[in-house]
Structure 1
Amino acid sequence: MTTDITSMTWDTTRLYPGPAAAELDADFATGRTRAEAFRTQYQGKIAGLDDDALLEALSAYETLEEFLVKPQLYAYLLFAADSGDDTVKRLSQRAAEFGNRMSRELLFFDLELIHLPDDRYAALTSDTRFAGYRHYLASLRKFRPHTLAEREESLLKQKNLTGVEAFNRLFDELSASFTFRFQVDGEERDYTGEELLGLLHHPSPDVRERAFGVFLERHAEHGIVYAAVFNNVALDHGQDMELRSYRYPMEPTNLGNELSAEVVERLMSVSEANYPLAQEYFRLKARLLGLPQLKNTDIYAPVGETGRTYSFDEAKELVLAAYGDFSTEFRDIAATFFRERHIDVLPRPGKGGGAFCMGMTPHLSPYVLLNFTGNLRDVATLAHELGHGIHFVLAQQQTMVNYHAPLPLAETASVFGEMLLTRYLLARENDPSVKIALLCAKIEDIIATTFRQNVLTRFEERLHRERATGLLTAGRIGDIWWEENGKLYGDAVTMIEPYRWGWSYISHFIHARFYCYSYTFAELLVLSLYRNYLVQGESFIPCYRTILASGGSLSPADTVRPAGVDLTAPDFWQSGYDVLRELIEELKRLV
């Protein structure tokens, strides 16, 4: 039975009937009225409220935030699915302006909480009635030294619409507009960017290299725009650092992640010390492919299962079965995404690249966007994004301010889901050549999620530091990119020349400053958690479920402590790479 095309697109009518719906207009209008009323009721009065009144204000704020974000999330989903539609473009811009205005309207609330007198703050955080807001208040409080007056904060938010946010939007629209004329197996047609990147899994070295080259060269043709966007984003961040007295580019991210600079630097330096482990694998893969040396277009080349593709139905059943082997509850949650059509599956012109799971609110179900082309990596991506979805659903027991997990834990369930899929496939496979293919895919995934993300973070860090001294040309940005990737590849991998533009299409650099090290953090954490699962069996599941259900109600360290994980332990990060070494040794035995 084949999935029909309608079920391959998501159904957003549970949110609103359409982009021109009267309900949408009504919510925009009602949202403005309710935000203005909240401001009138509470502005300038937070410090003077008694405990009962403050609890009431916090609850009202959460309810209002959840109401205001719904039309914005809806507009984001429509834009991600089709950025070329004029009606959707207008709605997306309207939602962005609405969100900006509402954040300025309610800015006072966080600021007044941040500046509560020390004795009042201490009393609140020790009061059991405020237990559900303890972490939220602490999360705000740590930004106290870097917060400006309300008027200044409001002006900065307002100008972002025509500043850095406008450049972000330009990046998205330009990247989504590309189509690529390309020939494979004698057939020439137009490809989306995601379809071209999918050809990095093609069995032919020539096809892989040509596809990636065509993709990167199109970005190079628009190098003036991409260089301007990256320069603007870095300059804006630098000015924000200066205004808020931050000492180094990653400090705001580390502060938000509740991780010290020392912990993050240890994570990254341990990763760099293990780059030779990746290079050992790259040399082994070259042998498997019968090549003297890999090019960076060969890293994801199929091994053993040459030419194997999966229908979306096959991918769905494999992923659901893998989750079902772990927990029937997890399988049932994942199945809901298919049943309720909360997944948009196929690539198409105008659709955003990559994949994501959009966590909505405690009362709205999450949505998943894919660009499924049928290779094994795409099956793993489905498991990954549904892991996010399970995480968001379990966290719906939290209230709005505690719903979203802190960034270092945001990738935990997704990466764990990929591990479940790999072990499910390996356990049911007897053909050594297929096992080799599966192990290669998993090892490459770990390398991409740890070492590659470390490279991306080091590149981003250098980009921001160098931009502080002056404008960066596209050539200079390419040089930084080339140097940081070269540290990972060493003499084991040759980079193709167009890869100097490999930085230009990575949206994390534009939308989420220094997000990439969260992938490294999550992968190494998951390897530790998965090892615990193998030892403890089913008794591990309730503890893991509690980690996911906690959402953002605790710090990362406090969230994982019940699982016996100490993020400050000197050898913690190395233990994750030791698991990778074990997988490479397992692969060697099979080879």
Structure 2
Amino acid sequence: MTLPLPFPVLDANASAQGGFGALPEWDLTDLYAAPDAPELARDMAWLEQACADFAADYEGKLAALDAAGMLDCVLRYEKIDVVAGRLMSYAGLRYYQNTIDAERAKFLGDCQEKITVFTTPLVFFSLEFNRLDDAHLDALLAANADLARYKPVFDRMRALRPYQLSDELERFLHDQSAVGSAAWNKLFDETLAGMTFEVAGEDEPLPLEATLNLLTDTDRVKREAGARALAEAFGKNLKLFSRVHNTLAKEKEIEDRWRKMPSPQMARHLANHVEPEVVEALRNAVVAAYPKLSHRYYRLKAKWMGLEKLEIWDRNAPLPTETPKTVDWDEARATVLDAYAAFDPRMAEIARPFFDKGWIDAGVKPGKAPGAFAHPTVVDVHPYVLLNYLGKPRDVMTLAHELGHGVHQVLAADQGELLSSTPLTLAETASVFGEMLTFRKLLDGARTKAERKTLLAGKVEDMINTVVRQIAFYDFECKLHAARTEGELTPDDINALWMSVQAQSLGDAFEFMDGYETFWAYVPHFVHSPFYVYAYAFGDGLVNALYAVYAEGEPGFQEKYFEMLKAGGSKHHKELLAPFGLDASDPTFWDKGLSMIAGFIDELEAMED
């Protein structure tokens, strides 16, 4: 019942602030004015009472409710979800603005603990609901259209029926969650946010984002210095990161074993409302495409850079022909809003308040969470976007990506709290589509062959990072969790698993420096949300297929697209894609998206002639 906190996304190339114009900061007062605001205390007190009253009114009685009574029960549960989500959103977002601030960390921890205690009496609801007879539930849904709206929520709950534990064990797991994985997540976040990196040639130690940003510098010496500083610092903290991963993987293995989950990935597939065979088909299609995608592209890049082999600090390096460019905030805003408006003016109108009303926190600050994310908060407020903006062209694409999430979350909010939440696989659709719109607009405006080449290469690298890299990450997690069932993993064990997927996915164009084997340590998704990463590849493949339909002039595409986003989590991926003539369960579906990437590489190769 407690709301998952937002967390940073991978490969958002952002770092230290400066010279980009006035960067916006969050105004969290739409949630609460301050930690000691009377409204926050009021909502916390209301939540405690509402949870107790809900349990008193409904525990042991769900089977006796008629359709109207069940609807009232669901609406009360949804209201509790909204208030708990509002409280946790405020505490979480405030914490991510400065994760090394002890007061913010304490406030978040206190809120988590209170809300976990308050909502423990609600654990019965899903367990008891899942014991309802199918015929009885079908009759209730048939009798009340308002209740029937919630069928997708009920279907997702009942998909967990085979894996439910006893009521007492479920309460125990809920109760101890604040000192289980949530506590290890905080340790990871605070450790990473507090780390500094001694980079050769820099006057003072740099934080993580500034150091990662060096990997995209035009100066190869600076890129190497950044990579070696990362490796040195990760190496010094490797025992701690190894302990975090060992503990979380073992905790997951124990819970999965008790629940009789067939695989470590199954809980994620259920949460994503996606069939395991669909994910397996995606994974297999991407791995089979490594040679014609990443292997081929990086050999081409090595040639452009005049190198026999690329090092890891060359992976996201600018091309030698690329003119260094700093994009100020106003230009970034105009670029993305113009691209959105060219697709449909409504899309730009939905995105505009993010800039004007304090819904974006863009600058890099000490202790701020790295990367980027869009957090939906709750349906009666609005989303908030976090960036670490550095004025690089890739930062503009990150802005387009996160605003896509924001637009999606705004449109889905009308579904209500329980139906608005979109499975991760579909949640990436609008964000990647927003990126594609922005990229295509820039590509159409390219004035020279060199400019077009730079844009194409940048897009290919982003797509490789989104598809190839994330599937490699997924394989790494699969190997890690499988290996952990055999016993404790040493840092060297984890390093070896990491390198096995890196060499396979990146190909023979690379040499890997000593120390790169530790780079698994800073990836937050492995800690916060196991097996999340395949959602990026899913979203990219889906959007590539979707964009092809748009480019072919599908009648009424914009209207269909908006209806898809408005659906939130109320429809299965088959229903959402059917109006576009697409089906992700078709094994050949993923080849369409991968062919788009291959086509871009074909064009880049042709430019060599």
User: Which bin holds the TM-score, normalised by the shorter protein?
Assistant: over 0.9
Which of the numbers 115, 122, 129 marks the counterpart of 2:131? 115
Please name the residue that 1:401 is paired with: 418
Q: Which one of the candidate residues 546, 567, 570 is aligned to 1:529?
A: 546
Which amino acid letter does the alignment assign opposite residue 233 of structure 2? R
Shift of 1:109: 1.4
Give CA deviations for 1:486-523 in whole Å, capped at 9, x if unaligned: 11122121222211111101110111121111111110
**Higher deviation after alignment, 277-286 or 302-311:** 302-311
**CA shift at 1:181, angstroms?**
3.7
CA shift at 1:63, angstroms?
1.4
In the alignment, the residues of structure 1 paired with residue 210 and residue 510 of structure 2 have an alpha-carbon distance, to the nearest angstrom, of 24
Q: Separation in 2 of the partners of 1:43 and 1:517?
A: 38
**Correspondence for 2:5:** none
Counterpart mapping for 1:231-242 below 5 A: 231-242=246-257
Alpha-carbon separation, structure 2, partners of 1:288 and 1:11? 45
User: What is the CA-CA distance between 1:538 and the residue it aligns to?
Assistant: 6.7
Greater CA drift, 23-32 or 409-418 = 23-32
Partner residue, 1:272: 287
Distance 1:217 1:404 in 2: 40
Match of 1:365 in 2: 382
Q: CA deviation at 1:152?
A: 0.8
Provide, for residues 106-163 of structure 1, a one-character-per-residue CA deviation record: whole Å limited to 9, x for no partner: 1111222111112212323445343311111111011001011221101112222222
CA contact (8 A) 1:253 1:514 kept: yes
Contact 1:409 1:556 in 2 (8 A): yes
Amino acid at match of 2:335: L
Q: What residue number does 2:316 align with?
A: 300
* Matches of 1:464 and 1:364, distance apart in 2: 38
Which position in structure 2 is the counterpart of 1:15? 31
Match of 2:493 among 471, 476, 481: 476
Tell me how far apart the structure 1 counterparts of residues 54 and 459 of structure 2 sit (CA, whole Å): 50
| Helix, strand or coil at the partner of 2:470 | helix
Code of the residue aligned with 2:439 in structure 1: it is T
Residue 212, structure 1, aligned to residue 227, structure 2: yes
Q: Give the Cα–Cα distance (whole angstroms) in 2 for the partners of residues 572 and 232 of structure 1.
A: 37
Deviates more, 1:122-131 or 1:377-386: 122-131
Hey, what's the Cα distance between the residues in 1 that align with 2:558 and 2:514? Answer: 47
Following the alignment from structure 1 to structure 2, what is the Cα–Cα distance between the partners of residues 317 and 586? 28
- Other structure's SS at 2:556 match: helix
Amino acid at match of 2:387: L
Residue 29 of structure 2 aligns to a residue whose secondary structure is: coil
Letter in 2 for 1:124: L
| In structure 2, distance between residues paired with 1:33 and 1:13 | 24
- The aligned amino acid for 2:162 is P
Q: Kindly report which structure 2 residues correspond to 1:163-312, keeping only aligned pairs within 5 A, or say none.
A: 163-182=180-199, 188-277=203-292, 278-303=294-319, 304-312=321-329
> 1:87-113 deviations in whole A, cap 9, x for unaligned?
211111012112322331211112221
Q: TM (normalized to structure 1)?
A: 0.97
The AA in structure 1 aligned to 2:207 is T
Q: Does 1:427 align with 2:444?
A: yes
- Give 1:228 deviation, angstroms: 0.4
Residue 8 of structure 1 deviates from its aligned partner by 2.1
Residues of 2 paired with 1:78 and 1:326: CA distance?
34
| Whole-angstrom distance in 2 between the partners of 1:207 and 1:108 | 56
Cα distance between partner residues in 2 of 1:132 and 1:334: 28
- Seen in structure 2, the aligned counterparts of structure 1 residues 195 and 537 have a Cα distance that, compared at 3 Å, is farther
Number of aligned residues: 587
d(CA) in 1 for partners of 2:554, 2:345: 15
Measured in 2, the distance between the counterparts of 1:467 and 1:360 equals: 34
Counterpart contact for 1:201–1:375, Cα < 8 Å: no
Q: Is the 8 A contact 1:446 1:580 kept in 2?
A: yes
* TM, length-normalised to structure 2: 0.94
Q: Is 1:543 matched with 2:578? A: no
Shift of 1:316: 1.2
Identify the residue that residue 85 of structure 1 maps to in structure 2. Answer: 101
Q: 2:358 is matched by which residue type in structure 1? A: R
One of 140, 150, 160 as aligned partner of 2:157: 140
Q: Unaligned 5+ residue runs, structure 1?
A: none
In 2, Cα distance between equivalents of 1:333 and 1:538: 23
Residue in 1 aligned with 2:79? 63
Q: Structure 2: give runs of 5+ residues left out of the alignment.
A: 1-18
Which of 445, 461, 464 matches 2:462?
Answer: 445
Aligned residue identity for 1:250: Q
